[in-house]
Chain A
Amino acid sequence: MDSSSLTCKRLTLITVLAVLIQVFGLALFVLGFFPVKPALSGFSGVESFYPPGGDSAEFQNTTNLSDSQLKYLYQELSLVPPLFDRLILMVIDGLPAEFVLGKDGEPPAKDFKDAMPYTQSLLSKGRAIGYHAKAAPPTVTMPRLKAMVSGAVGGFLDVAFNFNTQALLDDNIIVQFLKVGWKIVMHGDETWLKLFPGMFSRHDGVSSFFVKDTVQVDQNVSRHLVDELSRADWSFLILHYLGLDHVGHLGGRNSVLMAPKLGEMDEVIKTIDLNSLPTNNNDQGRTLLLVVSDHGMTESGNHGGSSFEETDSLALFIGPTTFGSTSGTPNKANQADLASTLSLLFGVPIPKNNVGMLMAETFKSLTVDQQLRLLELNSWQLLRLLEAQLPGLVCENFLCDDFRDDGSERTSSLEETFCCLYMKAADLHRSWKSGEEKSCHSILVAYHNFLRTASEWLSHRATDKPVGQLIFGVAAILVSCLILLSLLFLLAKQVFSEQNQQFSSANNDPSWWHLDEIFILVVIIIVVISMGSSSLVEEEQYIWHFMTSSLYLLSLRKVMQQNTSNYIQICSIFVILISGRFLRGWHQGGVNWTHLPDISKWLEQAGSSYIKLFQLVSGNLLISISLVSLLWSRKLKKNFVTVVALMHLFPGLLVLHYITKYQDVAFSTGSYDATLMAQLIYAVLGFCSTSIVGSVPWWIPLQNRTLSVHQRKAWGLCFRDSAYVIGLSYVYYWSLLQLMLQQPINSMPVLFLFLQVLASIWHSSGSNQHLRQWVEVAALYYMGMAGHFGLGNTNTLATIDVAGAFVGVLNHSTILSGILMFIITYASPMLYLLSMVMYSSASGFVISQKGDFGSLLRRTLGFPCLIPLGLNSILLIAYTIVLLLMRNHLFVWSVFSPKFLYVCATTVCVCLGVSVVASTVIYICLVLAYREKLQTHTD
């Protein structure tokens, strides 16, 4: 070995370094691409009516005030009487503002204009004010509703990390209205029920599950309309119509159903207006009808991205009388502005995290004093949020004299700009109050300047991406990928040259690439290419299954090429192929073809007793197969095997007991016994696996020590046996854990995965030449990915199994549930990574190895660790670049970003798995070396 060769130590160090660089770069990229903005907790209260910076202790305690007392307190403090008393919020899902207001000064298309005669007449009479309310991406319903009611623009991770609860916990106007004693009624999309559980006095949720239904879904809302309008017990009525969005999904913007649907919505507006709004002067109070849409739609009717067509949503205020002097031209605003506008219109505190500014045109009927007061309240709220996000913002520190005159001529810091804008407005306002300043116009302009600057900065902070950080992150990931690949290349070259020395008379020409080796590269190239297409990302399971089975068909062909047929290998390939096909058929998966029949749907139809039967059968088979492969395949000492077999049997029986007795009740009631049992099983599994890993290398008998020539061989045999036993235990315990945690329907797939692992180990140990170790390791990795989708996972966040994440968790703990969720989701990749320990025992060359300890480790551990890391790094860098290129794509939030989260989690999974494998094998080697030394000493 020359000096430039890779020693074991150097290899390990460089690999660890590369992995660290990768994790670091990934973290940078994720934080840059999905900015996490600090949200203020708690709810706005009385302090909203005082300037920021005041001592919170001086505000009177409002907790023991009743609803109506609080309402009057707010009115008193705000100095402005509320403009309206009741609110009807009508959400028309997916309606582009263009349809009602037109675009760029042009009136809307004639069809649409004619379809909504009543609304158009309201607009022309000045009783309605229309806004193009720009929505922030992702333009899908739930985040948009959140933005409307809380005024905050959430990042993507807010959506992703909220899987244990979808309820909106931040401050929002719904909670503010509830605090002042409003009764809220909701009819329509059940997203509202998920966001605000238990907050509505009456509700009728409709599901947007059947996109093909464009009629019934709206009738289910409208049927309550007349009844609700005649009642006086509510103050806030929410109507959410989904039909228009469904029309868009079916036929796009120009669907023949569009104009009739708009006509239907016009009828609803007319009904509400005629029934409710003119009843101004009776006891029900003044009612505001607010027609909004959550997002727009593209020409083809889709939404989710950030194009103008999708973000162009509507906000239409319809009041009982005209809104003062309104301009006929449609106004522009942000969707997030709705929260502050509504709060101010109804005299409640603005939600804490609101980034919007009030929509000035709706307040034109107020006096100038009142308008200024509302602008002041909005400014105070934004200033509070700015102070929370910019810790250095203390306005007394800045001298803004030259700012007064020439705006922002000199370069000033962000803090200074905000402070000066605010101070200017506040000073002008103060002098207006004392009567010095006469022109109200300059004050209005000053306030608007501050509000607009602050609002823009705050909302962009949530969506802007720091380019430098992203590039740095990508560069780090790229560097680590290159390091890993070059390590892999060097290792392959070295192993290859050593093999050439060893088998100089090898019958198959080693310089010739076999078909299956080329195919391994083809797979990775195809997967990388497919990442660029959103539909192939959605249907990724087809690629993995197709490529993996093609790979094994090719290796079947390769086995057939040998003149002497190797039946074990042929059988194991068939086992792999057939169980792979069952896994593929178990869940239809993907997005577009989920409605097609599959085995899991068929079983669910057949009834739960069949599912239970399958579960028990697969549990029993799992236990017996592991026992058989433990007893049968190795010639170990009898009492040793008995102890290990008992350690396999006991947790297996416990899991079977859990399945029969507790699994049904565990999900429904969370009964104490089931939790206790699950915890017991966790403990037993943890204890058994650690004790097997810890003790097997010490126990395993060293044989044949009399012949010094065979010493190495005996040592190698020992290594093989212990790696086999430990690897089998890893794989077996992991499958048992999955059997317990996965949905009952997935029990059979877990068995199939276990079978596939065992069969590929047979396949590797059956072949007599191990020239192409990397092919086998890569095939294991690919099978892990295929199995990942076989368990029903997809690239959307919707398929993450949340129910299983609470098995055995007594108190709600996000960390524990997160770990369980990770274990469930990454069952298959982890299983295959753990099987690398077993695979290292199947490697035939260990026996013939004559080198030292380090080179043996390198040979057994090099490929099983480097290949998964290398393949994963290729996928990671490729997908990161794809995501960067696709950042303005239509589906970036709905398809590409969730997939990226999966890729990140896969990286974590691979790193964890590889470190477990590496530490286990190193531990075995160390113990065996120590024992050998001890023995030669005593001899």
Chain B
Amino acid sequence: MDKKKNDPIGGNTILLWVSPLKALILHLICGLGLGLAFWVANHIYSLDLITNYSSHFVSQVFLAPVLILLYSHLRHDRNQCSYVKAVGRGLLALPAGAVVNALGATILGAPVGFEYFPKTLSWSLLMSLLTFVPAACVFGSSWTDWHRVFARTKANESTDCMICLPAHGAVIGAWFGAWPMPLDWESPWQEWPICVTYGAVAGYLVGLVASLGCIIFRNRQQHLKEE
């Protein structure tokens, strides 16, 4: 989205950009975690995304620990915040983010009603995992960081990149995923929120790849500078 990023800090950012190998591993864990969660739900619990969306909580149950544990490891204020505390605020952010995402979806036209409630809840938990929880684990309640990453879409270091790009990817993907819903193709996957979920997951994966690319690119640039 925001291609004209210029790094104002310059030389001080050496430490902030991790090595390509580490970045690759981190991203692989995220992507594989997402894949694994859906695979488990699909094959072990034999839950089909289309027919029983609302019982797809299972995939979130598997995805949540992976992401929370991973991102808590990357927490910002290591001196004041223990690992357990980071995990705790990640867990706290899960329902809060779900509320925000559900509100956003409702504003954009998601159906409201008792029969849709489990579906909306399940979807918004997934969105919360992809967008809010990583930020909460890493930044805690630091308003400036949140503001920088989400309102201004500005990444100063590799964790910013890893939070910002996949989260924006998920939101934009979900936005595009809503497009087939009013069409009269009468396919079962046009129901709320199945195609939106597909869109969000696709967008998230694209965001992951982009953030990986971004980190590697920045890293190389810095190496060039140092030389």
Q: Complex Cα distance A539/B180, Å?
A: 11
Q: Complex Cα distance A584/B105, Å?
A: 13
A440 contacts the other chain (CB 8 A): no
State whether B108 touches A561 (Cβ < 8 A): no
| Other-chain residue from B106, B112, B175, B184 in contact with A550 (beta carbon distance below 8 A) | B175
Give the residue name and chain of the A residue nearest to B171 (CB).
A553
Give the residue name and chain of the A residue nearest to B108 (CB).
A549
State whether A545 touches B183 (Cβ < 8 A): no
Q: Complex Cα distance A838/B184, Å?
A: 41
Q: Complex Cα distance A543/B178, Å?
A: 11
Q: Complex Cα distance A701/B184, Å?
A: 59
Least distance between A518 CB and chain B CB atoms (Å): 11
Q: Complex Cα distance A545/B107, Å?
A: 9
Q: Complex Cα distance A140/B111, Å?
A: 34
State whether A590 touches B113 (Cβ < 8 A): no
State whether A535 touches B151 (Cβ < 8 A): no
State whether A597 touches B113 (Cβ < 8 A): yes
Inside 8 A of A772's CB, which chain B residues have their CB? none
Least distance between A570 CB and chain B CB atoms (Å): 12
- 9 CB contacts below 8 A, A to B, read A533-B183, A535-B184, A536-B182, A536-B183, A542-B109, A546-B178, A549-B109, A580-B107, A581-B109
B220 contacts the other chain (CB 8 A): no
The 6 closest A-B pairs by CB, nearest first: A539-B182, A542-B182, A535-B184, A560-B151, A592-B184, A561-B151
B88 contacts the other chain (CB 8 A): no
| Other-chain residue from B107, B111, B112, B147 in contact with A560 (beta carbon distance below 8 A) | B147
Q: Complex Cα distance A79/B37, Å?
A: 89
| Other-chain residue from B107, B111, B147, B181 in contact with A553 (beta carbon distance below 8 A) | B107
State whether B152 touches A578 (Cβ < 8 A): no
Inside 8 A of A324's CB, which chain B residues have their CB? none
Q: Complex Cα distance A580/B108, Å?
A: 9
State whether B151 touches A590 (Cβ < 8 A): no
**Central interface residue in B107, B111, B151, B152, by most chain A CB within 10 Å:** B107
Q: Complex Cα distance A597/B116, Å?
A: 12
State whether A535 touches B108 (Cβ < 8 A): no
Q: Complex Cα distance A592/B178, Å?
A: 17
Told that A535-B183, A542-B109 touch, could you supply 9 new A-B pairs with CB distance under 8 A?
A533-B183, A539-B184, A545-B109, A546-B108, A546-B178, A549-B109, A553-B104, A581-B109, A590-B182
Least distance between B36 CB and chain A CB atoms (Å): 32
Give the residue name and chain of the A residue nearest to B183 (CB).
A535
Interface positions of B from 83 to 113, Cβ below 8 Å from A:
104, 106-109, 111-113
Check A550/B182 contact, CB under 8 A, given A560-B151, A597-B113. Answer: no
Inside 8 A of A931's CB, which chain B residues have their CB? none
Least distance between B144 CB and chain A CB atoms (Å): 10
**Central interface residue in B113, B175, B182, by most chain A CB within 10 Å:** B182
Q: Complex Cα distance A592/B182, Å?
A: 9
A42 contacts the other chain (CB 8 A): no
A914 contacts the other chain (CB 8 A): no
Interface positions of A from 562 to 588, Cβ below 8 Å from B:
577-578, 580-581, 584-585
Give the residue name and chain of the B residue nearest to A539 (CB).
B182
A438 contacts the other chain (CB 8 A): no
State whether A542 touches B104 (Cβ < 8 A): no
Least distance between A602 CB and chain B CB atoms (Å): 10
Check A578/B151 contact, CB under 8 A, given A535-B184, A592-B184. Answer: no
Query: What is the interface of chain B mostly: helix, strand, loop, or mixed?
Result: loop
Measured CB to CB, the residues of B under 8 A from A are: 104, 106-109, 111-113, 147, 151-152, 175, 178, 181-184
Interface positions of A from 16 to 43, Cβ below 8 Å from B:
none
Inside 8 A of B107's CB, which chain A residues have their CB? 549, 553, 577-578, 580-581
Inside 8 A of A657's CB, which chain B residues have their CB? none
Give the residue name and chain of the A residue nearest to B147 (CB).
A560
Q: Complex Cα distance A550/B108, Å?
A: 7
Query: What is the interface of chain A mostly: helix, strand, loop, or mixed?
Result: helix
Give the residue name and chain of the A residue nearest to B178 (CB).
A546
Inside 8 A of B183's CB, which chain A residues have their CB? 533, 535-536, 539
Inside 8 A of B184's CB, which chain A residues have their CB? 535, 538-539, 592
A430 contacts the other chain (CB 8 A): no
Least distance between A467 CB and chain B CB atoms (Å): 33
Give the residue name and chain of the B residue nearest to A574 (CB).
B107
Least distance between A405 CB and chain B CB atoms (Å): 60
Give the residue name and chain of the B residue nearest to A512 (CB).
B4
Least distance between A874 CB and chain B CB atoms (Å): 21
A634 contacts the other chain (CB 8 A): no
A557 contacts the other chain (CB 8 A): yes
Inside 8 A of B111's CB, which chain A residues have their CB? 596
Inside 8 A of A539's CB, which chain B residues have their CB? 182-184
Least distance between A339 CB and chain B CB atoms (Å): 37
Inside 8 A of A561's CB, which chain B residues have their CB? 151-152
Q: Complex Cα distance A355/B111, Å?
A: 52
Q: Complex Cα distance A545/B111, Å?
A: 13
Give the residue name and chain of the B residue nearest to A599 (CB).
B112
Give the residue name and chain of the B residue nearest to A526 (CB).
B179
Q: Mark A519-560, 1 if CB is under 8 A from B, else 0.
A: 000000000000001011011001101100110010001001
Interface positions of A from 901 to 925, Cβ below 8 Å from B:
none
Inside 8 A of B108's CB, which chain A residues have their CB? 546, 549-550, 553
Q: Complex Cα distance A580/B107, Å?
A: 8
Give the residue name and chain of the A residue nearest to B112 (CB).
A585
Least distance between B152 CB and chain A CB atoms (Å): 6
Inside 8 A of A549's CB, which chain B residues have their CB? 107-109
Q: Complex Cα distance A581/B109, Å?
A: 7
Q: Complex Cα distance A585/B111, Å?
A: 8
Give the residue name and chain of the B residue nearest to A558 (CB).
B151
State whether A584 touches B109 (Cβ < 8 A): yes
| Other-chain residue from A546, A590, A596, A597 in contact with B109 (beta carbon distance below 8 A) | A546
Least distance between A579 CB and chain B CB atoms (Å): 11
State whether A542 touches B181 (Cβ < 8 A): yes
Least distance between B164 CB and chain A CB atoms (Å): 13
Inside 8 A of A590's CB, which chain B residues have their CB? 182
Q: Complex Cα distance A535/B108, Å?
A: 20
Give the residue name and chain of the B residue nearest to A590 (CB).
B182
State whether B147 touches A535 (Cβ < 8 A): no
Inside 8 A of A553's CB, which chain B residues have their CB? 104, 107-108
Check A535/B109 contact, CB under 8 A, given A550-B175, A560-B151. Answer: no
Inside 8 A of B175's CB, which chain A residues have their CB? 550
Q: Complex Cα distance A935/B213, Å?
A: 69
Least distance between B10 CB and chain A CB atoms (Å): 21
Least distance between A244 CB and chain B CB atoms (Å): 23
Q: Complex Cα distance A553/B178, Å?
A: 16
Give the residue name and chain of the A residue nearest to B185 (CB).
A535
Least distance between B66 CB and chain A CB atoms (Å): 29
Q: Complex Cα distance A597/B104, Å?
A: 21
Least distance between A692 CB and chain B CB atoms (Å): 36
Q: Complex Cα distance A561/B109, Å?
A: 25
Q: Complex Cα distance A533/B183, Å?
A: 9
Least distance between B147 CB and chain A CB atoms (Å): 7
Inside 8 A of B181's CB, which chain A residues have their CB? 542
**Central interface residue in B106, B109, B147, B181, by most chain A CB within 10 Å:** B109
Least distance between B115 CB and chain A CB atoms (Å): 10
Least distance between A749 CB and chain B CB atoms (Å): 16
Least distance between A894 CB and chain B CB atoms (Å): 14
Least distance between A139 CB and chain B CB atoms (Å): 20
Inside 8 A of A546's CB, which chain B residues have their CB? 108-109, 178
Inside 8 A of A593's CB, which chain B residues have their CB? 182
Inside 8 A of A581's CB, which chain B residues have their CB? 106-107, 109
Q: Complex Cα distance A864/B109, Å?
A: 29
Q: Complex Cα distance A542/B178, Å?
A: 10
Q: Complex Cα distance A533/B182, Å?
A: 12
| Other-chain residue from A535, A578, A585 in contact with B182 (beta carbon distance below 8 A) | A535
Least distance between B180 CB and chain A CB atoms (Å): 11
Inside 8 A of A533's CB, which chain B residues have their CB? 183
**Central interface residue in A560, A581, A596, by most chain B CB within 10 Å:** A581
Q: Complex Cα distance A535/B185, Å?
A: 9
Least distance between B61 CB and chain A CB atoms (Å): 30
